[in-house]
Amino acid sequence: MKSTGNIIADTICRTAELGLTITGASDAGDYTLIEADALDYTSTCPECSQPGVFRHHTHRMLIDLPIVGFPTKLFIRLPRYRCTNPTCKQKYFQAELSCADHGKKVTHRVTRWILQRLAIDRMSVHATAKALGLGWDLTCQLALDMCRELVYNDPHHLDGVYVIGVDEHKWSHNRAKHGDGFVTVIVDMTGHRYDSRCPARLLDVVPGRSADALRSWLGSRGEQFRNQIRIVSMDGFQGYATASKELIPSARRVMDPFHVVRLAGDKLTACRQRLQREKYQRRGLSQDPLYKNRKTLLTTHKWLSPRQQESLEQLWAYDKDYGVLKLAWLAYQAIIDCYQMGNKREAKKKMRTIIDQLRVLKGPNKELAQLGRSLFKRLGDVLAYFDVGVSNGPVEAINGRLEHLRGIALGFRNLNHYILRCLIHSGQLVHKINAL
């Protein structure tokens, strides 16, 4: 009985907040029906703003917040008026409620509730729509429309952004409909740079993976925003570097350490695969020494077990031609060591030395020479990390959350919907949503 009393009291209070007084209630099976009279409404003509003369009552149906897990419908009795202005085109009009917009099916707070479920509870649109008793399309549209208001129509959305991260993200695998299915993800890492506990914030998602994608996004923002950007973190893609250099030349560009190490690892793998083909004229089999040690070669040397170390020593002694592979492995480990050094000044010098040595290599060391030339082209971006200490780690974390979002939704067909859902999911909009 106490629990029932609490539910009734809560329902009465929540309904009173809407400017309504309850006149009746019933259990309609799948939903709760609350009959109410309006207390807070306007009686002026929406066309000419002149007061009207009461004519009769009419009814309006609205969806409100669920009660104990069941959808709620409000059956509201409203007065209807005759306009007193003889020249007005609007002869008759219905009183307008303060808790809902004209012609809408839901109260104002339903939109906030939907966004809270999507952004905080990580619910799917389907589950949210079912809880409200609404259709999927309407629920999704309400969320997307409000997200546009909170992000794109907020003049202060980009205030205080000094450090950004840029990376690509795969949003669709339907190549026939969406091409390569890539988008460019732009993330605010300002707070994270000074406090690792501060989460990064998704600023926007741009269709495509190219210099033009980032160039158009930066160009559409004001000059004030571009001038305030101090650091741009990115992967090894040259297009992002070109676009940022053109539009924000004063910003410090940083090539992410993970992508530098991965590039070195890719060249190490390419060297191993080339030696495999040259020696055996086939791809690797489980008993082949090169193939058997493929994962061991990519393991940081300080994490190698005694058994793995012994396996590598046997590999170097197996064939004299594997000396090229050993050199590639040593370069790979040396690059990793640079990023793990405590003294960033010395690490920067060591990285510069490694790149200078690699780019002049000739003969059988073609993979290492390619690595050296690639890193030398982005020398300033690679070395900038040791000065500013910014990486793309927060961007990769958001990419992981977006993959989770795609899993919740079981994929997306509409790119615009996907972009707005990403902003709801990872745009740090909770404080704006709660303020609605």
The whole domain housing 224 covers 163-256+391-434
Shared domain for 383 and 395, answered yes or no, is: no
Q: Which residues pair with 52 in a beta bridge?
A: 83
Q: How confident is the model at residue 2 (pLDDT cuts 50, 70, 90)?
A: very low
Residues 337 and 411 in one domain: no
- Summary mean pLDDT of the chain: 90
Q: Is residue 122 part of a domain?
A: no
Q: Is the distance from CB of 183 to CB of 207 less than 8 angstroms?
A: yes
Report yes or no on 37 lying in a domain.
yes
Say which residues have a Cβ less than 8 Å from residue 6's Cβ, sequence separation at least 6: none
Residues 53 and 168 in one domain: no
From the CB of residue 291, how many other CB atoms can be counted at a distance below 10 Å?
Answer: 16
Written as six digits, the tokens of 73 are 């419908």
SS (H, E, C) 35-81: EEEECCEECECCCCCCEEEEEEEEEEEEEEEEECCEEEEEEEEEEEE
Highest mean pLDDT among 5-9, 278-282, 305-309: 305-309
**Same structural domain, 397 and 381:** no
**How many residues can be counted in the chain?**
436
Per-residue pLDDT, 29? 78
- 110 is a domain residue: no
Question: Average of pLDDT values for 226-237?
Answer: 93
304 and 326 together in one domain = yes
3-state secondary structure of 183: strand
> Does residue 395 share a domain with residue 248?
yes
What SS3 state is found at 288? coil
1 falls in which pLDDT band (50, 70, 90)?
very low
Q: What does the alpha-carbon distance between residue 354 and residue 334 come to, in Å, rounded to a whole number?
A: 8
Please determine, for residue 364, whether its predicted confidence score (pLDDT) is greater than 60. yes
- What's the average model confidence in pLDDT over 17-39? 87
Q: Which residues of 389-424 are buried (b: 16+ CB within 10 A; e: fewer)?
A: ebbbbbbbebbeebeebbeebeebeeeebbbbbbbb
In a domain, 173, yes or no: yes
- Residues 345-350, mean pLDDT to the nearest whole number: 95
Give the torsion sign (CA, 385, 388, 389, 392): negative
Please report the pLDDT score of residue 176 as a whole number. Answer: 80
In this structure, the answer to whether residues 306 and 362 fall within a common structural domain is: yes
| Residue 349 and residue 271 share a domain | yes
Residue-wise pLDDT tens digits, 182-207: 999 999 999 888 887 888 999 999 99
Task: Classify burial at 123, counting beta carbons within 10 Å of its beta carbon; exposed 0-12, middle 13-18, buried 19 or more.
Answer: middle
- Total structural domains in the chain? 3
Q: How far, in Å, CA of 390 to CA of 44, rounded?
A: 58
Structure tokens belonging to residue 414: 């509409």
What percentage of residues in the chain have a pLDDT greater than 70?
A: 99
Buried b (16+ CB within 10 A) or exposed e, 16-30: eebebeeeebeeeee
Dist CA 351 CA 34 (whole Å):
71
Quick one: 292 and 246 in the same domain?
no
The residues with which 20 forms a beta bridge, in sequence order, are 38
Q: Is the pLDDT of residue 33 over 60?
A: yes
What pLDDT score does 136 carry?
A: 92
**Taking 70 as the threshold, does the pLDDT of residue 400 lie above it?**
yes
218 and 273 inside one domain: no
Show which of 369, 388, 407 is a domain's final residue.
388
